[in-house]
Amino acid sequence: MAMVAAAERDGLLVSGGTIVEPTSGNTGVGLAMVAAQRGYHCIFTMPDKIAPEKMQLLRAYGQKSWYADSGGSGAPRVVLLGRQQAHSLDAEGVPAQPVSQPGEPGVSLPFDRPEIWRQTAQRVTHFVASVGTGGTISGTGRYLKEQNPAVQVIGADPVGSVYSGGGGRPYLVEGIGEDFWPSTYDPSMVDRVIAVSDADSFATARRVTREEGLHVGGSCGR
């Protein structure tokens, strides 16, 4: 909502406009929901390793989406292909504005930050999150450190991703990790980043489902 509102304020989105966005999960779903409410069209490109139900969900909101071919290379390169494909669509005359806001960590998730602080009775000592664009961990980390500078913010990262010191080599878990440094990531808000293997991520996700009754994906297992 904040990203779309900023684009509207800046005159980048007008009634009936189209949003072109490369996505591997939640950003696309959020944009599709807001676009459906506000009468915008969306075109999404996704890595072809992404679960088909995510594609189906975007289409259920009435938006167009398709996979970017990975050539079997894996996550980071596939996401890059998706970005290039989205940008070429824009250059070919689709009336679109890519919605990508460097200031997003300052405005995203305005509700769950106070909720974390309130529901832990102000006793939270560590915040652990997977890192994708970096907006969630940066913005939430900033809020929690403003309440208590001693709070530790820890990133859980796929092995091979740049956040944990990798070079961007392929990995299987969806929607997190990067092969470049996004402007939405503020490293000063993150105390440490731990690399977690695909095998450990998927095994933990399955264990959470079996033992806790929560059907989560590989990124939650991380």
CA atoms 189, 194, 199, 205: torsion sign: negative
| Stronger pLDDT, 54 or 104, i.e. the higher one | 54
**Cα–Cα distance between 106 and 135 in angstroms, integer?**
8
Q: Are residues 16 and 37 in the same domain?
A: yes
Confidence label for 91 from pLDDT (cuts 50, 70 and 90): low
Q: Are residues 185 and 209 in the same domain?
A: yes
What percent of the chain stands above pLDDT 90? 33
Q: Are residues 8 and 57 in the same domain?
A: yes
Burial class of residue 215 (count of CB atoms within 10 Å of its CB; 0-12, 13-18, 19+): exposed
Q: Are residues 28 and 83 in the same domain?
A: yes
Q: Are residues 72 and 118 in the same domain?
A: no
| Stronger pLDDT, 180 or 100, i.e. the higher one | 180
* Entry pTM: 0.70
Query: Does 195 have pLDDT greater than 90?
Result: yes
pLDDT of residue 69: 61
pLDDT of residue 169: 77
pLDDT of residue 120: 93
Token pair, residue 93, equals 């005359």
If phi > 0 it is left, if psi is from -120 to 50 it is alpha, else beta; for residue 17 that is beta
198-208 pLDDT tens trace: 999 999 999 99
Query: Does 8 have pLDDT greater than 80?
Result: yes
**In the listed set 57, 91, 125, which residue is the last one of a domain according to the structure?**
91
| Stronger pLDDT, 90 or 120, i.e. the higher one | 120
Q: Are residues 86 and 152 in the same domain?
A: no
51-87 pLDDT tens trace: 788 888 888 888 887 766 655 444 434 444 455 555 5
Q: Are residues 71 and 110 in the same domain?
A: no
Domain range for 63 = 2-91
* Domain CATH number, residue 111: 3.40.50.1100
Q: Number of folded domains in the chain?
A: 2
Q: Are residues 78 and 113 in the same domain?
A: no
Q: Mean pLDDT of all residues in the chain? A: 80
| Stronger pLDDT, 6 or 101, i.e. the higher one | 6
